[in-house]
Amino acid sequence: MLSVNTNAGAMVALQNLTKTNAQMNEVQNRINTGLDVAGAKDDGGKFAIAQRMRAQVGGYAVVRDSLNRTGSVVDVALAASEGISDILIEMKAKALAASDVSLDSASRTALNEDFKALRDQISKMVSTAEFNGTNLINNTVTSISALANDTGSSTISIPDENLSLGGAVVTLTATASFASAGTADTLAGTISTSLDNLNLALARLGTASKSLGIHGDFVGKLSDALEVGIGNLVDADLAKESARLQSLQVKQQLGVQALSIANTSPQTILSFFQ
């Protein structure tokens, strides 16, 4: 039936052209964003899963920062502890030399001055072994903790190692010195005990630093795996979308022509009234 009021052919052609245009907009958005699922309306299920995974990735970024920060505190403490160990070894040598009863008084006094200078250096190292306001070897904190997971429900705790003079590890007092061979010999024994204690503290700090590094590597790999998973869920296949775009461009041109042809149909009615 031919009618000037209703053009069914044009309606169908317009519907198909509108659908093609919508598909082209969808493909162009995917090409522009690189995403197959850019929002909840594209695929609510996939978008929800991707958002949850993005939250995990963001959480693990915070965990990595926490691990790095705590690791730096431990590494600074470890470096200071190794320095203190070297100083104690040198102090022990000074004390042993001074314990020689055949040594003259002037030489023992000179050794004592070196000994006291090294002793004071330990205090300086302990007080300055700080990172980000935290010192793990001067007895100002009981322990420090780093986040271990993205929810904050798990942490890695590192206990304090008090290396202050006169403490449980370095038993040598802050006023230790010698004026006689006997006192020097006693101090040499005290330093040996301090070195044994310090070696244990060094082992604990070294293990803590290594564990933080291992966990940091694990968190990095886990975060990368989540990033890949998100990409698998929402990333667009651009090669596929490029091919689809070319196909839709052809369909759009054909749709325009079909609509043009359908719109000319009512003009044939004029031939009936000539």
- The pLDDT score that the predictor gives to residue 36 is 80
In this structure, the answer to whether residues 150 and 101 fall within a common structural domain is yes
- The pLDDT score that the predictor gives to residue 20 is 81
Please state the pTM of the whole predicted model.
Answer: 0.78
Say if residue 41's pLDDT is above 70.
yes
Which parts of 129-237 fold into alpha helices (H)? 181-234
Please state the rounded mean pLDDT for residues 58-86.
96
In this structure, the answer to whether residues 114 and 250 fall within a common structural domain is no
- The pLDDT score that the predictor gives to residue 244 is 81
Hey, what are 77's tokens? 């403490």
Asked whether residue 108 is assigned to any structural domain, the reply reads yes
Q: CB-based contacts of 4: which residues, under 8 Å, 6+ apart? A: 266, 269
In this structure, the answer to whether residues 249 and 205 fall within a common structural domain is no
Asked whether residue 44 is assigned to any structural domain, the reply reads no
What are 43-47's contacts with CB under 8 Å, separation 24+? 46/233, 46/234, 47/234
Say if residue 142's pLDDT is above 90.
yes
- The DSSP call for residue 71 is H
- CA 101, 86, 144, 132 dihedral sign is positive
pLDDT band at 30 (very low <50, low <70, confident <90, very high): confident
3-class DSSP state of 165: coil
In this structure, the answer to whether residues 178 and 227 fall within a common structural domain is yes
pLDDT band at 254 (very low <50, low <70, confident <90, very high): confident
Please state the rounded mean pLDDT for residues 158-166.
95
Asked whether residue 170 is assigned to any structural domain, the reply reads yes
In this structure, the answer to whether residues 17 and 118 fall within a common structural domain is no
- The pLDDT score that the predictor gives to residue 3 is 67
In this structure, the answer to whether residues 207 and 265 fall within a common structural domain is no
- How far, in whole angstroms, is CA 71 from its chain's centroid? 11
Phi, psi of 124 (to 5 degrees): -65, -40
d(CA 217, CA 19): 49
Say if residue 264's pLDDT is above 80.
no
- The pLDDT score that the predictor gives to residue 38 is 80
With beta carbons less than 8 A apart as the criterion, state whether 88 and 195 touch: yes
In this structure, the answer to whether residues 123 and 213 fall within a common structural domain is yes
Say if residue 266's pLDDT is above 90.
no
Q: What is the pLDDT of residues 59-71, one digit of tens each?
A: 999 999 999 999 9
Asked whether residue 107 is assigned to any structural domain, the reply reads yes
pLDDT band at 223 (very low <50, low <70, confident <90, very high): very high
- State how many domains the chain has: 2
- The pLDDT score that the predictor gives to residue 137 is 96
126: domain CATH number? 1.20.1330.10
- CA 201, 203, 204, 205 dihedral sign is positive
In this structure, the answer to whether residues 196 and 219 fall within a common structural domain is yes
Percent of the chain with pLDDT over 70: 96
User: 134 vs 67, 73, 127, 130, CA distance in Å?
Assistant: 14, 7, 11, 5
Show the domain range for 267.
8-32+238-273
In this structure, the answer to whether residues 193 and 259 fall within a common structural domain is no
- The pLDDT score that the predictor gives to residue 2 is 63
Say if residue 43's pLDDT is above 90.
no
Asked whether residue 41 is assigned to any structural domain, the reply reads no
In this structure, the answer to whether residues 70 and 203 fall within a common structural domain is yes
With beta carbons less than 8 A apart as the criterion, state whether 238 and 96 touch: no
d(CA 248, CA 23): 8
Asked whether residue 45 is assigned to any structural domain, the reply reads no
Asked whether residue 53 is assigned to any structural domain, the reply reads no
Q: CB-based burial of residue 253 (10 Å sphere; 0-12 exposed, 13-18 middle, 19+ buried)?
A: exposed
- The pLDDT score that the predictor gives to residue 274 is 65
Q: How high is the mean pLDDT of the chain?
A: 89
Q: What is the pLDDT of residues 180-207, one digit of tens each?
A: 999 999 999 999 999 999 999 999 999 9
Asked whether residue 152 is assigned to any structural domain, the reply reads yes
In this structure, the answer to whether residues 210 and 263 fall within a common structural domain is no
- 203 beta partners: none
Say if residue 265's pLDDT is above 90.
no
In this structure, the answer to whether residues 168 and 267 fall within a common structural domain is no
